[in-house]
Amino acid sequence: MSILINKDTRVLVQGITGREGRFHAEQMQKYGTKIVAGVTPGKGGQEVLGVPVYDTVKEAVAEQQIDASIIFVPAAAAADAALEAAHAGIPLVVLITEGIPTLDMVAAVKEIKDLGVRLIGGNCPGLISAEESKLGIMPGHVFKKGKVGLISRSGTLTYEAAAALSEAGLGTTTTVGIGGDPIIGTTFKDLLPLFNEDPETEAVVVIGEIGGSDEEEAAAWIKEHMTKPVVGFIGGRSAPKGKRMGHAGAIIMGDVGTPESKLKAFAEAGIPVADTIDEIVELVKERLG
């Protein structure tokens, strides 16, 4: 099985008439994603890639059955676009846009959660259920259907890990790029229970990075509740304190978010941590026996 999305998921693309939205919508269609509608204010009545375009999400939902929305909207309007989708009753919202003002995200994340909607991102590559459906900008060809769930704060490392798992014959069930901003809609801890309950996921790989406390919180949950083997990887371990590395959320402040604190938490939870992408594969094989 997969989590969150599958071959039957019906998708809305917000910002489908823009350059990024149209390009990635086409790539998603080629992968097999069922895109049933698009939204761009002022462009209602048009058709893009064989998909009807609406002025508002509310109009799209009134005419189409929609299970998920993916957002390719400029940063200044992206949080509002996510709120529009959530208020229209779409249960899963994937926010690709980066550079969204942090205060916008603080308010939007709380409101969206209060509505009972799952938000992935922002500043994320999206998610993909291998050989079924893709909501995002991931290179679909590196994902082969298999038995490993993958959650990551990094984009490129996600693709490298997925490719390595595919080449090793392990493959993936669903891969979720949660995003690297300080404020995101879904964390490692939010997704681990879904993989733990998925009968086809036999192991999970968690790719974290310096900054924040998401990895420590995930390790605590894994220690108490996880019944499946987990392998970790921490990016940015050589970063000096106080220096931002890559993602907006990848910054160490004092003793919070340090590589040491994350490695300690993983060790206490019995999670082996790989030093390289290839070692991720070796550790997964060992854990699966």
Q: Which residues are catalytic?
A: 247
Q: What 3-state class would DSSP assign to 218? A: helix
The contacts of residue 271 (CB under 8 Å, 6+ apart) are 206, 219, 222, 230, 231, 232
CA-to-CA distance for 102 and 260, rounded, in angstroms?
A: 27
Q: Are 23 and 136 in contact (CB under 8 A)?
A: no
Which of 120, 72, 79 shows the shortest CA–CA distance to 97?
72
Q: Which two tokens stand for residue 264?
A: 């300690």
Residue 144, phi then psi, degrees to nearest 5: -115, 140
Q: Which two tokens stand for residue 173?
A: 């069930």
Q: Are 128 and 135 in contact (CB under 8 A)?
A: yes
CA-to-CA distance for 64 and 264, rounded, in angstroms?
A: 48
Beta strands in 56-115, from DSSP E residues, in sequence order: 68-71, 92-95
DSSP of 156-199, one letter per residue? Answer: HHHHHHHHHHHHTT--EEEEEE--SSSS-S--HHHHHHHHHH-T
